[in-house]
Structure 1
Amino acid sequence: MRSARKRQILNLVGISLSALFLYFCFRSLDAESLKKAFLLPRPWWLLGVLALNFSLMAVRSLTWSALLQALARLPFAELFDILHIGYMANNLLPLKAGEFLRASIVAKRKKLPYAQVLTTVGLERFFPGFTLILLLVVVAGFLEVPFWIKTGAYTTGAVLLGVFGMLVLLWNRRPNLEKWKKRHPFFYRIIEFFYHISEASQPLRSPSAFVNLTFLALLGWALQAGMLFCIEAAYQVQIGFFGTLFVLIAINFAVALPSAPSSLGTFEFAAVLAYTYLGLDKATALGIGFYFHFLQAIPITLIGLFYYFRLGIKLKDLEEAEERKVEALP
């Protein structure tokens, strides 16, 4: 009962924030402005977005595969399918429930500890966050960065630093599970959870693996920047290489906020803030944000639904993911 109530409250907060952000996006735009926002002068550029989005999912699958190697070797095609299912669930369910779903699917199929698989999902997000801050440092050398992006960078950096510090501590002080089970059974489950995190994060101790994962994260950002450039070209907008990176960084810091499924509202609001900061009109900024968002979300959701039914995932798996998501929250 408490879990269900907590889930309802969190969902309500996320949806309320999304509605507020959408209101600010559309406020003061008349019919002529909306027409300008969504009618593209050169729509054929959007085909490039679809191709790059497909490549991006392949890069994410390679990243997850590299992190899972310490636990099990999964075929690339299988991970590619499961990754789409997870992102589909993220787009349809609030608060990133898809991350818990894909961890659950792999854990069940390969008979692996759920906490270890979930750790690899979290680490898959670690490297994009780490490299995003590096990109911001580069962009800051060419553009004035507003305080709200700096705040996002400081917050993200503090979280990532804390995570890495915890991993280093776990690597150097691995708990003796048998000892804890016998002497302190009350704390055993907590210690066991951290033990699984330590086991799943072993690939990060290898410098070559760390460099490889960093490269894949940077490649992912390059593909996303290419997608954004294609949409800007469809609008005949030119803001420069560092301007495009600036917008990409702003959007990705924003989608970390609680929101409705698929980060609806927060995504578009960040795009509007970033583009108008660079001098673009609000209508065009909203249009670019809309196409950038939905040309990623809709194809992934449709492909994810296809694999969901093809692999025979049950509704109860979605419900379990929702429960585990809420249990993981404070």
Structure 2
Amino acid sequence: MIKLVIGIIITVACLLAAVWGIDLEQIKESFQRANYWTLPGMFALLYVFFWLKALRWRMLLEPVKNLSVSQVTPAMMIGFMGNNILPAHLGEFLRVYVLSRQFQIPKTTVLSTVVLERLFDIVAILCFLGVGIYFTPNIPEDYRSYSLVTAVVICVAILVVAAYLIWTEAVIGLFRKIFSYLRFLPEKLTHLVLEMMQSGAVGMASMKSKRLSFGIIWTSFAQWAINGLSIFVALWSFDIQVTPLAALVVLGVTAIGVTVPSTPGFFGIIQLCFWVSLQGFGVSKSDVFAASIYYQLSQYIPVTLIGLYFSNREGLKLSQAEREAENELEELEGIDGTEATLPETNG
């Protein structure tokens, strides 16, 4: 209940910040001027995005069980539907439950592939954010000054992930020692990070294959490039004149923003992230707000409907889905009551 209240407060605060200084008439005019013929293209890009995501998940799972893209897609879409309508990012644990039940794969193994997904997502998103900040023409100097920091973070993230992939146990041991000195960090947080790293080690088998490693890397970057293109198309639909590189900045900021606790669907968070990313480009705030709604709904509605379809096909009712996701979360928390969650990325 506390998490729900905090999420509602954050969502309302972000939404108010996103609409501050504009009125309903301005937003209405933005929607009236928009070009909605781009919607089929938005849906096509969304299809490619999730096809790439399913392809990557299949490759991560291949050493454990050789599944097809069509076989992993139902569990994946049920999970993303869960993130859209269930609190606390329970969709991630829901897809672990569904795939494990469908193909008799240990839940810890499925979870490990989801953890690895997040690691590759973080690296890809940071890279695109850095490229967007550095190369976007006419970007404010305040933005460009962050590019060096972003580049350092990217390099560190890549090095950490590479070391984790090569010397898994040694890296986990190092983090355990570091956390022992950082006593100001919440114990639940440090325990969670170590548990996620340990779970991720279970799914490392796919990275021992050069073919799979290459496939996992290129699909990670390709899917977020597609997502960035979707953002650009949404902005273009509302006559917001920015380059695709600026859309990569929006992508990076939004992906970071949705990790903040909020209500399901990330409404309010995404709207504020769009404006924070674009306010230095001299664009209309009402147009940016409207474009963010267009982008979000073009993803939220089809993903939720497709997830509900697969959920119904698998005989999984919403009440049961939430209960099973909560059960998975409780199992992962363990008997010591440590809270578990996964960092979220938009889409």
Shift of the 156–105 alpha-carbon distance from structure 1 to 2, 3 Å rule, reads farther
1:1-330 correspondence to structure 2 within 5 Å: 8-143=1-136, 144=141, 145=143, 165-170=163-168, 197-314=200-317, 315-325=319-329, 327=333, 329=339
Q: CA deviation at 1:309?
A: 0.5
Cα distance per residue 1:142-192 (max 9 Å; x no partner): 244368898888778877765664554436799xxxxxxxxxxxxxxxx99
**Contact 2:127–2:154 (Cα < 8 Å) also in 1:** no
Structure 1 equivalent of residue 179 of structure 2: none
Letter of the aligned partner of 1:316 in structure 2?
A: Q
**Contact 2:240–2:288 (Cα < 8 Å) also in 1:** no
Cα distance per residue 1:265-293 (max 9 Å; x no partner): 11111011112122211101101111111
Letter of the aligned partner of 1:254 in structure 2?
A: G
**Contact 2:11–2:263 (Cα < 8 Å) also in 1:** yes
**Contact 1:152–1:253 (Cα < 8 Å) also in 2:** no
Structure 1 equivalent of residue 187 of structure 2: none
State how far apart, in whole Å, the 2-side matches of 1:313 and 1:156 are. Answer: 40
State how far apart, in whole Å, the 2-side matches of 1:201 and 1:136 are. Answer: 27
Cα distance per residue 1:2-27 (max 9 Å; x no partner): xxxxxx22222222111110111122
Q: Secondary structure at the match of 1:239?
A: coil
Structure 2 equivalent of residue 184 of structure 1: none
Letter of the aligned partner of 2:45 in structure 1?
A: L
Cα distance per residue 1:39-88 (max 9 Å; x no partner): 24321112211111112111110011010112112232121122111110
CA RMSD, 1 decimal = 3.0
State how far apart, in whole Å, the 2-side matches of 1:131 and 1:121 are. Answer: 15
State how far apart, in whole Å, the 2-side matches of 1:255 and 1:149 are. Answer: 21
Q: CA deviation at 1:38?
A: 2.5
Say which is worse superposed, 311-320 or 148-157, in terms of deviation: 148-157
Q: Secondary structure at the match of 2:265?
A: helix
Q: CA deviation at 1:312?
A: 1.1
State how far apart, in whole Å, the 2-side matches of 1:151 and 1:320 are. Answer: 41
State how far apart, in whole Å, the 2-side matches of 1:283 and 1:306 are. Answer: 34
Letter of the aligned partner of 2:262 in structure 1?
A: S
Structure 2 equivalent of residue 186 of structure 1: none
Shift of the 83–152 alpha-carbon distance from structure 1 to 2, 3 Å rule, reads farther
State how far apart, in whole Å, the 1-side matches of 2:280 and 2:198 are. Answer: 46
State how far apart, in whole Å, the 2-side matches of 1:227 and 1:30 are. Answer: 26
Shift of the 98–154 alpha-carbon distance from structure 1 to 2, 3 Å rule, reads farther
State how far apart, in whole Å, the 1-side matches of 2:161 and 2:264 are. Answer: 26
Q: CA deviation at 1:211?
A: 2.5
State how far apart, in whole Å, the 1-side matches of 2:126 and 2:108 are. Answer: 27
**Contact 2:4–2:87 (Cα < 8 Å) also in 1:** yes
Q: CA deviation at 1:264?
A: 1.6
Q: CA deviation at 1:94?
A: 1.9
Q: CA deviation at 1:195?
A: 6.5
Letter of the aligned partner of 2:26 in structure 1?
A: S
**Contact 1:67–1:120 (Cα < 8 Å) also in 2:** yes
**Contact 1:85–1:98 (Cα < 8 Å) also in 2:** yes
Q: CA deviation at 1:107?
A: 1.3
Q: Secondary structure at the match of 1:263?
A: coil
**Contact 1:130–1:157 (Cα < 8 Å) also in 2:** no
**Contact 2:133–2:147 (Cα < 8 Å) also in 1:** no
State how far apart, in whole Å, the 2-side matches of 1:269 and 1:198 are. Answer: 36
Q: Secondary structure at the match of 2:135?
A: coil
**Contact 2:134–2:144 (Cα < 8 Å) also in 1:** no
Letter of the aligned partner of 1:83 in structure 2?
A: M
Structure 2: gaps spanning 5 or more residues: 173-193, 341-347
Q: CA deviation at 1:215?
A: 0.9
State how far apart, in whole Å, the 1-side matches of 2:171 and 2:247 are. Answer: 43
State how far apart, in whole Å, the 1-side matches of 2:148 and 2:171 are. Answer: 34
Q: Secondary structure at the match of 1:261?
A: coil
Letter of the aligned partner of 1:94 in structure 2?
A: P
